[in-house]
Structures are given as structure tokens and as C-alpha cells.
Chains A and B, each alone.
Chain A
Amino acid sequence: MRLYSLSVLYKGDAKAVLLKAAYDVSSFSFFQRSSVQEFMTFTSQLIVERSSKGSRASVKEQEYLCHVYVRNDSLAGVVIADNEYPSRVAFTLLEKVLDEFSRQVDRIDWPVGSPDTIQYAGLDGHLSRYQNPREADPMTKVQAELDETKIILHNTMESLLERGEKLDDLVSKSEVLGIQSKAFYKTARKQNSCCAVM
């Protein structure tokens, strides 16, 4: 079971702003890594943009699960994991991270921040510690206060999109994805394995 990325974003009116992110792409082959990272950023932003404030959701895409928590104050967190990683722990992690972030970074910096300007260094440590869910979070057999029935489940990324919107278009328009990543995506699509890069 694995965590691949952990990001903090701000859900602006028009789009989601990436504030800080940590990645673990060690399981991907060397040449894929930068593209994978870009795709995870792209995905995280997209998910936050399509999720409403005060909601939690898990979006399934092939063997990945993206867990998102958008707070009422528009601060959002996304963790991208595999399908073995327990979602309960993922949401505990998100809660913890956003709580810590909001205490360390002034609210005024959120709407206009970027990974370079934001002063928050805890993400890498959290990501690495939570790789083993049982070490990071001594799991109680009793369910946490979190009501799992309120978590929205999406079976594909596509289900997040509006009618008529195509993932291909969003990919090609994206500012986050480099040329190589977009090319990878096209090839993967042709081979009928969407997001095989990820």
C-alpha cells in the first residue's frame, strides 16, 4: 500500500491554487517520474476545482484512489494513494495536515500563494511517515468520528466533469503539464490505457 502525493490547495472561485505538495514517485521508473508528478498536480487541482466546499470525496482512477477534503474556508487537501491504502487513514492525514497548515500559514496568503512562497515544511515528513498507515496512525478498531457514509465516491475521473467536458481537452489546455507529459497522455490514450503514466 502506497501514498504517492500529498498536496495542499486553495479552492479559489475560478480555479484551485496549489500551495504546497510532497511526492513519492520512487516506485515509478526513472524516466516517468517527472510526468507522473505533473499529472498528480494536474489531478489534484482538477479534483479540488470540481469538489464543493465542506465535502470529502474519493475518486477512483484505475489502481489509484485520490482522496480530497475541501474545508468550508476553501482550504483543501488531496492525497493520491493506491487502492490498498485505507481511506480512513487518508482522511485522518488530510484533516491533520490542513489543521497544521492553517495554523502555520496566514489565511491572507492562501489565495495568492504558490509552493515557492508558502512557508510550510511539514508535508514531506507526513507523507513519508504515513506510508505505513499502522505506524503513523495507531488504528482503533472502532470507527473514528469521521462519518464515512458522507464521503462521496467517484468511480472515475470523468464523473467529476461537466456534461460535454472531456479530460483530453483539459489535459491539452493545462498549464501544469509539460509537453512531454501531454505526449505521454496521448500515447497512453491511444493504447487505451488512460493515464498509464500515473
Chain B
Amino acid sequence: MAETSEEVAVLVQRVVKDITNAFRRNPHITDRCHMHPATSKSRLYHCVERERCSRVCKMRKNQQRRLLGRKELILSGTLNPIKDLHLGKLALTKFPKSPETWIHRRWVLQQLIQETSLPSFVTKGSLGIIPAERTQQLIREEMEVCGEAAGRYPSNYNAWSHRIWVLQHLAKLDVKILLDELSSTKHWASLHVSDHSGFHYRQFLLKSLVSQTVTDGSILEQNTLRSEPAIVLPKDEEAVASAEESRINLPHLLEEEVEFSTDLIDSYPGHETLWCHRRHVFYLQHHLNGRFPHSVVQLSPADSPGGTLSDLHLIPAGPHTSQAMEVDGLSDSSKQGYSQETKRLKRTPAPDSLSLEMEHRFIDQVLSTCRNVEQARFANAYRKWLVTLSQ
């Protein structure tokens, strides 16, 4: 190893060049093994160490310091952040859980979105505000990296929480991206029925969609998952019209998720994750049923709640046009609790009797046909939980 800082600088440059060349020759390096040993990351780490601690004689292998070294290289412009992300991707093939790698990755991504003078979000006609192409590409890449890491280690919490972070900070919870993610992770989830983190991800997607769609007229929904307030919706007529078109059918989505859950529980007995997931979805559904646009409270407190809500959603309710919620057929005349909905379970009205009944029937069906001890246990626990919900 070189002694003087000059020689070290040269060495650093050479290593970075080697890595760059390796990528240029084979941009599809997917496995760490393919990298030529001479261009291995460890050499880079050692060089950076040396540069930083030129007085220290011993090579330290502390990963924090290595990553700190990489950060310095990026900040000084020596190492291209995209290349660093690629390096990280390789590292994750061997260490899919490594928290430091994920943390470092987020730092790099933040550098990337901050460094450019180009906007990360653009307005694209009727689509409203969407992420720029460059941002979309970054997002796609991150989704892929997370997906791979999730496949390499069961219930990879770090990979899935990174995925969530990307949606929050890079994608800003763009609805289309959320919907895409919901559909594209469905197949994976069906093949990983005990992956709790994977299903938690679906719960996050649904929750984000719910809180974005259901906005009070006057009080913007405070989404605790995001640090920013909800996306301000376009005000002009054209945008309103198209917003209506792109309005997502939340109840339908949730219903689909319940069917998905039923299908999996029947096909793969004895997985607690699936039952857990069902609780979340059911809760979201009944939570949704209990919430209505503020307009309903303001405009027709005395109106019969049995009337369809489909015409109510067209009525603007305040300074902002509330993004309406399609609630076909979900209105239940027995529900009187329109007033002051809160998020708290206790104060939300009881889930409507029809959906509760259906759930109980589902439990009965499972218990009568299942021969798996665990399945029976989970079914009974679910029943108990449903009972507490309606108290």
C-alpha cells in the first residue's frame, strides 16, 4: 500500500477508474463474484482509509468508516453517485440485510435529488404533478433492488422499509406509482405467504391510498407517514374533470385485497402473516366506511343517510375541491355516525353488520374445512379480534 498521500490519491483514482472500466465492459454485473479481484471494493476502502488516516498504520475494517470514505468521494466529485448505487446493489446481493448499506443508499439518493438543478417533479397536462423521468427511473431501479433483496432474505425489514422510504421521498406517494406497486407486488406476495414485511408493504400502500383519497374539504388530511402535507390538487376545471377520471376506486381496491387474502388463506393454511394482513385490510375498509367527505356533514346533516353518496361527491366543499371518494353501495342506513370522525378505533362507528357477518361466515368456513391446527388457532383469534372491533 502506498505511503504518501500523493501516491494514495493516485491509487484511489486508479481504483475508481478500474471500477468504472469494469462497469463499462459489463454493465450488467449482477454478482459480486464477477468483479475482477483487483477492482474489488475492499481495495477502494483501504485506499480511502489511508487517505483519511494517513498517520494511522493499521488498516481498519470498520464499515462506517468505509462508507464515510465513499461519501467523501461522492461529495468531492470523484465517485459518481450512480456508480456508488451500483456498488451498493452488488453488496446487497451478498448482504441483503445490511442496514448500513441501506442507510448509505438513502444518503446517496438524497444527494442525487438535491444536486441537480432539474426539478424532480413536473406538471404533465392532465396527469397533474408527476415525478420527472429521471426520478421515475431512480424509483424503478430502487424498486428492483428492494425486490431482489427481499427475495434473498425472508421478511427483509430493511429492504422493505427502504422501499417505503423511496415511495415517500422520491415518489412523494404519487398515486399512480402506489397503484402500480400494489399490482406489481401482488404475485410476489402470493409466493411469499409468510413474509410479514412484504404484506406490511401492501398495507402501507393501501393506507397511503386511503389517506390521499379521503380528504376533508377544509382540513387537509395529515398523513403521518409523510413529512409534507397532502398534495394540493389542481383547481382548474379541466384538472378537476381529469382528477375525477383518475379517481381511484378505493372500496373496490380494498375488496380485491380481501378476496386476495381469502384466496391465500384457503390455499395456504397456517400462516399468521395472512391473517394479520386480513385484519389490516378489514380495518381499513371499515375505517373507510366510517369516513365521509366533510361536505356531507356540512351540507346535509339532516339528510337521510340512506341516500346514495354518488351525487354528493360532486359538490365542492370549501376552498379546495376535495378529491371525491367513490362509495358505491357502501352507504349503510344504519350508520349514523357522520359527525366528527376521528381516527381512533373506539370512536369510529362499528363496522357495518353486513361485512362483519361475511367475515364470520368466512371464519366458519375455514374452521369447518381446515385440518391444520395453526389455521384453526388463527381463525379463532381473528374471530376474537372482530368481536373487540364491534364493541
Q: List residues of A whose CB falls within 8 A of some B CB.
A: 1, 27, 29-30, 63, 83-84, 86, 132-134, 139, 141-143, 148-149
Tell whether, in the assembled complex, residue A86 and residue B267 are in contact, meaning their CB atoms are under 8 Å apart. yes
Closest to A85 in B: B268
User: Among the listed stretches B177-185, B191-199, B209-217, which one makes contact with chain A, having 4 or more residues with CB under 8 Å of it?
Assistant: B191-199
Docked pose: A132 CA to B192 CA in angstroms: 11
The minimal Cβ–Cβ distance linking A196 to chain B, given in whole angstroms, is: 14
Residues of B within 8 A of A143 (CB): 369, 371
Tell whether, in the assembled complex, residue A84 and residue B371 are in contact, meaning their CB atoms are under 8 Å apart. no
Contact of A84 among B152, B194, B266 (CB under 8 A): B194
Tell whether, in the assembled complex, residue B193 and residue A1 are in contact, meaning their CB atoms are under 8 Å apart. yes
Known: A30-B33, A143-B371, A149-B371. A83 touches B194 (CB 8 A): yes
Docked pose: A149 CA to B373 CA in angstroms: 10
Task: Tell me if B316 counts as interface (CB < 8 A to partner A).
Answer: no
A-B pairs, 8 with minimum CB distance: A148-B371, A141-B266, A84-B194, A84-B193, A86-B268, A1-B191, A139-B267, A149-B371
Residues of B within 8 A of A132 (CB): 191
Docked pose: A148 CA to B266 CA in angstroms: 15
Task: Tell me if B271 counts as interface (CB < 8 A to partner A).
Answer: yes
Residues of B within 8 A of A29 (CB): 94
Docked pose: A148 CA to B269 CA in angstroms: 12
Task: Tell me if B147 counts as interface (CB < 8 A to partner A).
Answer: no
Within 8 A of A (CB), among B210-237: none
Known: A84-B268, A141-B266. A63 touches B154 (CB 8 A): yes
Docked pose: A1 CA to B191 CA in angstroms: 5
Q: 0/1 per residue, B304-315, Cβ < 8 Å to A?
A: 000000000000
- Identify the interface centre among A30, A63, A84, A134: most chain B CB within 10 Å of its CB: A84
Tell whether, in the assembled complex, residue B267 and residue A134 are in contact, meaning their CB atoms are under 8 Å apart. yes
Docked pose: A84 CA to B31 CA in angstroms: 27
Residues of B within 8 A of A149 (CB): 371
Docked pose: A29 CA to B33 CA in angstroms: 10
Docked pose: A30 CA to B32 CA in angstroms: 11
The minimal Cβ–Cβ distance linking B264 to chain A, given in whole angstroms, is: 10
Docked pose: A148 CA to B373 CA in angstroms: 11
A-B contacts, 22 of them at CB < 8 A, read A1-B191, A1-B193, A30-B33, A63-B154, A83-B194, A84-B192, A84-B193, A84-B194, A84-B268, A86-B269, A132-B191, A133-B267, A134-B190, A134-B267, A139-B267, A141-B369, A142-B369, A143-B369, A143-B371, A148-B371, A148-B372, A149-B371
Closest to B271 in A: A84
Residues of A within 8 A of B267 (CB): 86, 133-134, 139
- Identify the interface centre among B192, B268, B269: most chain A CB within 10 Å of its CB: B268
Residues of A within 8 A of B266 (CB): 141
Closest to B268 in A: A86
The minimal Cβ–Cβ distance linking B260 to chain A, given in whole angstroms, is: 13
The minimal Cβ–Cβ distance linking A28 to chain B, given in whole angstroms, is: 10
Docked pose: A29 CA to B268 CA in angstroms: 28
A27-B152, A132-B191 given; name 9 further pairs at CB < 8 Å.
A1-B192, A29-B94, A30-B31, A84-B193, A133-B267, A142-B369, A143-B369, A148-B371, A149-B371
Closest to B371 in A: A148
The minimal Cβ–Cβ distance linking B95 to chain A, given in whole angstroms, is: 11
Docked pose: A27 CA to B194 CA in angstroms: 17
Within 8 A of A (CB), among B249-272: 266-269, 271
Docked pose: A83 CA to B192 CA in angstroms: 10
Residues of B within 8 A of A84 (CB): 191-194, 268, 271
Residues of B within 8 A of A142 (CB): 369
Docked pose: A84 CA to B264 CA in angstroms: 11
Residues of B within 8 A of A63 (CB): 154
The minimal Cβ–Cβ distance linking B365 to chain A, given in whole angstroms, is: 9
Q: 0/1 per residue, B138-162, Cβ < 8 Å to A?
A: 0000000000000010100000000
- Identify the interface centre among A27, A63, A83, A142: most chain B CB within 10 Å of its CB: A83
